[in-house]
Structure 1
Amino acid sequence: MASLLPLIQDILPMILPASVAVTKAADILPPDTQPGGADGDTAAGVRVISRQAVVDKTDSMCTSILVVKPHSSSAVRHHGEQETIIYTVSGNGSLLSQPKGDDEEPERHELGPGDFAFIPAWTEHQAVNDAEVDFHLVIIRSGGRPVEVNLTGWGGPQAKDTAQ
């Protein structure tokens, strides 16, 4: 059986061809939130924008983007059982992670363009932008569709409004 494995690996791509999926930035974000674009506020005072980029293409991974406007922050959240990698595209900000104890502050991780962060499953975290320009992040998760559980605060219950 082991001798058939190389043959199967060579034949399988011919039997089940795959195609490349591309998602254009213009299809995800309004022009004023694209990296290198104007840093003005978006309509209706939206301060955090989360959009799916590549989902349901494989069971093993998916990606989305997060834009945190100046002087704003995402909700405290976790991604359930999904492990997450964050890549900073542009801007500078912080990734806060779950405090170790009740009397402690969240741990602050400074992020800038080109930086990566790994977030283990179920780990509470929050993206914060104290700067004057948009903070753009690419979020890559295990699993074919993103899980975002917004909380009322550190260690708090799930928030009723999960639009953020």
Structure 2
Amino acid sequence: MTDHEHDHHAHEHAEGASERWRHDGVRVIKGDRLDPNTAQTPGMFRQAAINHARVGAQKIWAGTVSIEPNAKTGVHHHGALESVIYVVRGRARMRWGERLEYVAEAEPGDFIFVPPYVPHQEINANPDEPLECVLVRSDNEAVVVNIADVDPVEAPEEVYWVDPIHKRP
């Protein structure tokens, strides 16, 4: 192949790749165009931004949730999925453990990590305003395993969300 033929072939390849990236590249999902066709819980309103149906995502789900004042989920876990919750507005209270024996709270700007198979309950800790969060899960399938036979402890142990290099407040 001559240099001219190689340059022409590379140009054709680049044009094809460019056209492919136009449709299969970066996607921007406008905040007012989220999809409410997702699992809902009384007192909560979830909307999908990123999932397989909307953008072809294979390994991730992302969206928003608005939780009414004093609303909470039942006790559940998400199977093998990892979840991240980013608090945008309000105050989130998370309870977790076999008997919901641990509790921690998060406020705007805080991230919450929920490991696989951890029984937990999400609560809007504010009686007067909604809790607004962004959710990201490590798979596109919405796995929710409800746990009906949990006998919650009455006064959960408070756990500070810190890492090994940061001390308790």
Fold match by TM threshold 0.5: yes
Instruction: Within 5 Å, give how 1:30-45 maps onto structure 2.
Output: none
Q: How many residues align?
A: 125
| Offset, 1:29 | 7.9
| Offset, 1:137 | 1.6
Matched residues, percent identical?
25
Quote the Cα distance in structure 2 between the aligned partners of 1:26 and 1:14: 30
Name the SS for the 1:145 alignment partner.
coil
Q: Which 5+ residue runs of structure 1 have no aligned equivalent?
A: 1-10, 31-45, 156-164
Cα distance, 1:93–1:140 mapped onto 2, change above 3 Å = same
Which protein has greater RCO, CA pairs closer than 8 Å, 6+ apart?
1
2:125 matched to 1:130? yes
Q: TM-score, with normalisation over the residues of structure 1?
A: 0.64
Quote the Cα distance in structure 2 between the aligned partners of 1:138 and 1:146: 15
RMSD over aligned Cα atoms? 2.7
Match of 1:22 among 25, 28, 35: 28
Q: TM-score, with normalisation over the residues of structure 2?
A: 0.63
Quote the Cα distance in structure 1 between the aligned partners of 2:88 and 2:118: 22
Q: Is the 8 A contact 1:86 1:137 kept in 2?
A: yes
| Corresponding residue number in structure 1 for 2:45 | 49
Instruction: Within 5 Å, give how 1:97-112 maps onto structure 2.
Output: 97-99=96-98, 105-112=100-107
Quote the Cα distance in structure 2 between the aligned partners of 1:68 and 1:115: 16
Name the SS for the 1:138 alignment partner.
strand
Larger-Rg structure? 2
Quote the Cα distance in structure 2 between the aligned partners of 1:29 and 1:89: 19
Quote the Cα distance in structure 2 between the aligned partners of 1:145 and 1:21: 20
